[in-house]
Amino acid sequence: MVDSGARLGHVAQHNATEGSPSPVDGATAARVNAAPQGSGGGSKSAGAGERGRSTRSRISKRSSRSRRAPVEPQDMHVAAALIIAHNRARRIAATVRAARAIPGVDLVLVVDDASSDNTQELARKAGAVVVRHSHFRGRTASMETGASVIAMRDEPGRTPRSILLLPGSMGHHAVGAAPLVAAVTEHVADLAIARAEGEPRVEGASSKAARRAVEKATGWTPEEPLAPVRCLTREALEAAMPLARGSGLEVGMILDVLHAGFTVTEVECPLGHVPRSSTEGGGAAKLQRYRDVMLAISTRRVRGTLSSIGRTPVDTPPGPVSEPDPIRASAPDTDPTEPATTDPQPKDDQ
């Protein structure tokens, strides 16, 4: 088996043309899981000391987790913010500053996907590490590049950083994603997805298709399966590799991590009125988005990921983060009954 650190390093060398990350050991193999829809609402931020105390009691009940509780001063920096940006000069500096203000985030990495404006310079001046593609590659390739660079910057002998995924257009609202970092680093879930506070869920065709696919596979119905703002462990990200292309990236990630046996939850976050990817664009964009989502679902159906995934409830340990009870997905034991579509691979979009 090829070491994941070496593989990620290779991806970074291939995709990035700028930046000089320090070498480091790779991350462990990834897994992922999901949380059922519940009445617990969203999580609220709490003091670092309170979170540290609750995490210690949590680890005793979930000893299978390898991540340590962030209770020591040197362990408080346990996450990296990964920002994908293409021609986002107007908001990139505010996004970087907001990401740096999130508790637990000690690294902000911006992948400039061949911007024609000064996104790169503004991000660097705001305090981010910047890697730039020489030509447009799309969100999926940019995310793989960023994950590779973060892996190389992780310190040997330390638990790999969790990764907070943020769009470059969020501006100061990015600080509202702080509850996602707390949910992952305190072991509430391996993948935490942001649900915009006070906003109705998206009911477009793409969101409905993604929602049905996750519900059919696990019995859990996510509110925002296509939400781009999310935080996950290195292991969960590895489980989702290779990432789905285009707008199918988010639902493909959920299905892959569930199939690998990890936990997923949704957390209500104060993100303001940041545009959600599933609502942007006109008719042509919506059609392309739907094709991307259906391609991701169909690909995983062919691979067997969408076979009936039984679920075993997992007790939610006490703590300050109010979350729906996560569920753990077991390996599939039946073949899917729906035929796969034969749509060609659409072009990845930003």
95, 83 in Cβ contact below 8 A?
yes
Q: Is residue 4 domain-resident?
A: no
- Helix pair angle (283-303, 205-218), 10° resolution: 20
- Nearest CA to 124 out of 75, 85, 68, 155 is that of 85
The first and second tokens of residue 159, run together, are 């638990």
Q: Is residue 281 domain-resident?
A: yes
Q: Which amino acid is at 302?
A: V
From CA 30, how far away is CA 189, in angstroms rounded? 13
Whichever domain contains 314, its CATH number is 3.90.550.10
Q: What is the domain count for the chain?
A: 1
Backbone angles phi, psi at 256, to 5 degrees: -65, -45
The first and second tokens of residue 335, run together, are 């073949």
Please tell me the pTM assigned to this model: 0.68
> Over its length of 350 residues, how does the chain's per-residue pLDDT go in tens digits?
444 444 444 444 444 444 434 333 433 333 333 443 343 444 433 333 443 333 333 333 333 344 444 444 444 558 999 999 999 999 999 999 999 999 999 999 999 999 999 999 999 999 999 999 999 999 999 999 999 999 999 988 889 999 999 999 999 999 999 999 999 999 999 999 999 888 888 888 999 999 999 999 888 999 999 999 999 999 999 999 999 999 999 999 999 999 999 999 999 999 987 666 555 667 888 899 999 999 999 999 888 755 545 443 344 444 444 444 454 443 344 443 444 444 444 444 44
Q: Is residue 65 domain-resident?
A: no
- Domain region containing 156: 23-36+74-329
Q: How far is CA 170 from CA 1, 167, 175, 270, 288, in A?
A: 39, 6, 9, 12, 23
On the 0-12 / 13-18 / 19+ scale of CB atoms within 10 A, 314 is: middle
Q: Is residue 282 domain-resident?
A: yes
3-state helix, strand, coil in the chain (%, to 5): 40, 15, 45
Q: What is the 3-state secondary structure (H, E, C) of 283-333?
A: HHHHHHHHHHHHHHHHHHHHHCCCCCCCEEECCCCCCCCCCCCCEEECCCC
Q: Is residue 290 domain-resident?
A: yes
Q: Is residue 341 domain-resident?
A: no
From CA 292, how far away is CA 295, in angstroms rounded? 5
231 three-state secondary structure: strand
Q: Is residue 138 domain-resident?
A: yes
Containing H/E element for 207?
A: helix 205-218
> Residue holding tokens 């990630």?
253
CB atoms within 10 A of CB 183: 30
Q: Is residue 274 domain-resident?
A: yes
In the DSSP assignment, the letter for residue 33 is B
